[in-house]
Structure 1
Amino acid sequence: MGQCGGAAAAPAGSSAVAAARGALSTSVAWIAGSN
């Protein structure tokens, strides 16, 4: 059960990290473009 929960949580965590990186990279590109 614990291992199952950990395996389920890992993709969710990776997804959040990927989303955060995507948002950061978009912000950086937008700021660079607006300057």
Structure 2
Amino acid sequence: MGEDKVQTGIPGLDELVDGGLPRGRSILLSGTAGTG
């Protein structure tokens, strides 16, 4: 059984994080200006 994940709604990001972010966890995303 895999970990329960939540899709971000950003297809490219969901692909990079194997389908979504882990449900119930704190996640910090950062990048330089203009990254996203």
Same fold by TM (over 0.5)?
Answer: no
Write 1 or 2 for the structure with the bigger share of strand.
Answer: 2
Query: Which structure has more helix as a fraction of its residues?
Result: 1
TM-score (norm 2): 0.25
Kindly name which structure, 1 or 2, has the bigger radius of gyration based on alpha carbons: 1
- Work out which structure has the larger RCO, using CA pairs closer than 8 Å and 6 or more positions apart in sequence: 2
Name the TM-score, length of structure 1 as normaliser.
0.26
